[in-house]
Structure formats: structure tokens, C-alpha cells
Structure 1
């Protein structure tokens, strides 16, 4: 009787474990096989592999980027977008002069 009492104590755990095991078994039984998945997705796998090979090949055969000494990557682009600092400074000075003239 002692075993039956312990089993009744854990009846919900046993039921949940059995249900989970049955669910996993049904998923494995109903799921398509690995070969079927490969047959369906082989064009995607091949195109991805060719794209990665092309990246590696172009990375090896392209000439190295020559940058000015001391210039960080992308700094020239940032300077172009922001504009030369000399022009900004001169525009600020001109605006200050105009404001002081209007104030007098």
C-alpha cells in the first residue's frame, strides 16, 4: 500500500509527464523527415553558400583601401556631411557681427 499512496501523491506529475511524452512522440511521428526538409530548402542553402563564397573571394582579390595616414575609416565622409569647420566658424562670426550691428 505504501507505493500506491506515493503514486497517488504524484499523480499530477505523472499525468503531466505522460502527456508531455505523448506530445513529443506525436510531433516526431508527424514531422517531416530531415531529407524532406533538405529537398525543399536546397535552393536556399545553395544560394546562401554561393553568396558567402563570393564575399570571401571578393574580399581576397580586392585591393586594400589606401587611406591617408592618421585618418580613421569614414572620417572623410563625416567631414563631407558636416561641412568644413572653417566655413561653419566663419558663418557663426558673420551672424554675431550682424546681430551686434542690429542691436546698435
Structure 2
């Protein structure tokens, strides 16, 4: 009877150990191997790596924003006009005598 009381005392520990053992078994024997996963997803990994390399390349070769201050930007003027931040011309500019 003493053994059964000890087993009942540690029932959560035994259940946790069985659960961990079962999960390790399922990962080792039932899950696909890492090389199989890598072989399936290598195009995705390659395209992601190339995209990140291009982002880093363009980030390094981009000029600083202060150097092109003298270049006119007609797109910004158009965006300001569409956004409603355009200035109104003087009223006498359209008068005809």
C-alpha cells in the first residue's frame, strides 16, 4: 500500500515525464527530417535571401536626402495639390480688363 501512495503522490511528475517522452518520440520518429524540410522550402529561402541582399544593397547605395535638395520635385507638388495643401493664387491674377 505504501508504494501506491508514493505513486499517487508523484502522479503529476510521472504524467509529465510520459508526456515529454511521447513528444520526444513523436519528434524523432514521426516528424519529417530537417533535410526534407530544407529540400522542400529551398526556393523560398533562396528568394528571401536574395530579396534581403537587394534591400541591403540599395540601402547602402542610396544617396543621403540632404544632397538632392536643389532637385525640383514635381511629384511632391502634385501630391500637395491632391492633399489640399496647395496655396491659392492671388485674386487679381485672373482679372481681365
Q: Per-residue CA shift, 1:31-67, capped at 9, x if unaligned? A: 1111111111111111111111111111222322234
1:96 maps to which residue? none
> Which ranges in structure 1 are unaligned for 5 or more consecutive residues?
69-74, 88-104
2:94 maps to which residue? none
TM-score by length of 1: 0.55
Runs of 4+ in 1 over 6 A off after TM superposition: 75-78
2:10 maps to which residue? 10
- Distance in 1 (alpha carbons) for counterparts of 2:35 and 2:23: 23
SS at match of 1:83: coil
Alignment of 1:53-68 (within 5 A): 53-65=53-65, 66-67=68-69
Q: Per-residue CA shift, 1:62-83, capped at 9, x if unaligned? A: 3222348xxxxxx978744132
- Distance in 2 (alpha carbons) for counterparts of 1:48 and 1:10: 49
- From the two aligned structures, give the one with the greater helix fraction: 1
- Distance in 2 (alpha carbons) for counterparts of 1:3 and 1:67: 84
Paired residues, number: 81
2:28 maps to which residue? 28
For the aligned residues, what is the CA RMSD?
3.0
> Which ranges in structure 2 are unaligned for 5 or more consecutive residues?
71-75, 89-97
